[in-house]
């Protein structure tokens, strides 16, 4: 069985490479300018999450939209409504101790998935940050986790 154009290995590698380049550029400018460039992307605020790979044990940095709940930072593991969890989420499940940069401030955090009792309030908080999360949840059968980053 053949593949259609764009379905072979090369078709998958180019979008992934473009995403990696955009992410790397975002991280570079965020850190270089101490958030002047990269903290706000349109209407949303972003932080940099430094985490360890669940299998590779490599360190990764991922820019993510965040919200605040008191002293805690809140993330949504949406991956745009994909059927799979984002890699950063599976990494945090395996290695919950991480570090974030919010603006020019860096801090150590411990990640946990919001409980079923906590999630509705935090989901509401995050859809005020980015209303698209509701669409993402409608577009997938996967229950999208909300992540709480507690300062250590």
| pLDDT block averages, 10 residues each, the chain of length 152 | 41 64 72 65 86 96 95 97 96 98 93 98 96 96 98 97
- The predicted structure's pLDDT at residue 5: 40
- Structure tokens, 7: 């379905």
- Please state the separation of Cα 40 from the chain's center in Å: 15
Side-chain half-sphere of 121: how many Cα atoms within 13 Å? 8
Distance CA(105)–CA(146), nearest Å, equals 23
Tokens of 93: 């499940």
Element (H, E) at 6: none
Q: Whole-model pTM?
A: 0.81
32 alpha-carbon distance from chain centroid: 20
CA proximity to 136, closest of 72, 85, 88, 62: 85
* d(C-alpha 78, C-alpha 130), whole Å: 11
Q: How far is CA 145 from the centre of its chain?
A: 11
Domains (range + CATH), the chain: 9-151 (2.30.110.10)
The per-residue pLDDT for 8 is 43
* Rounded CA separation 13/79 (Å): 18
* CB atoms closer than 10 angstroms to residue 84: 10
Q: Tell me the Ramachandran region of residue 38: left when phi exceeds 0, alpha when psi lies from -120 to 50, beta otherwise.
A: left
Longest dimension (CA), the chain: 55
């Amino acid at each position: 069985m053949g593949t259609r154009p764009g379905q072979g290995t090369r078709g998958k590698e180019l979008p992934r490479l473009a995403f990696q380049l955009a992410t790397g550029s975002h991280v570079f400018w965020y850190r270089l300018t101490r958030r002047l460039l990269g903290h706000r992307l349109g209407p949303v605020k972003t932080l940099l999450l430094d985490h360890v790979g669940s299998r590779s044990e490599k360190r990764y940095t991922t820019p993510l939209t965040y919200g605040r709940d008191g002293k805690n930072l809140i993330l949504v593991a949406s991956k745009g409504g994909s059927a799979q969890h984002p890699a950063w989420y599976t990494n945090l499940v395996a290695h919950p101790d991480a570090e974030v940069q919010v603006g020019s401030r860096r801090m150590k955090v411990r990640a946990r998935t919001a409980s079923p009792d906590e999630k509705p309030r935090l989901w509401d908080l995050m859809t005020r940050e980015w209303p698209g999360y509701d669409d993402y949840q409608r577009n997938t059968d996967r229950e999208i986790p909300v992540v709480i980053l507690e300062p250590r």
